Amino acid sequence: MSERYPCIVPNFGLHPWFITERTPNWLKTLRGFLESTLAAAVGEIGLDKGSTFCGMSLSIRRA
């Protein structure tokens, strides 16, 4: 999508809800995405108070 629309910046990260489900090679996969997408941003995602959508309280996420 970013190739078609230059104003879109690809972003990669590991969502906190799925941290326990990550694969053993998650870092290698992330590195591959970043190496093939030089203009990409990276960082932790999911701190947007979206917990109401999955029924998780914010106090649990802060622990």
**Mean pLDDT across 44-61:** 54
Quick one: which of 55, 53, 14 has its CA closest to 33? 14
Enter the pTM of the model. 0.59
Structure token digits, residue 35: 């190496």
Which amino acid belongs to residue 62?
Answer: R
In 3-state terms, what secondary structure has residue 3? Answer: coil
62 pLDDT tier (thresholds 50, 70, 90): very low
Write the DSSP string, 36-59: H-TT-EE-----SSGGGGTT--HH
For residue 63, the model assigns a pLDDT of 44
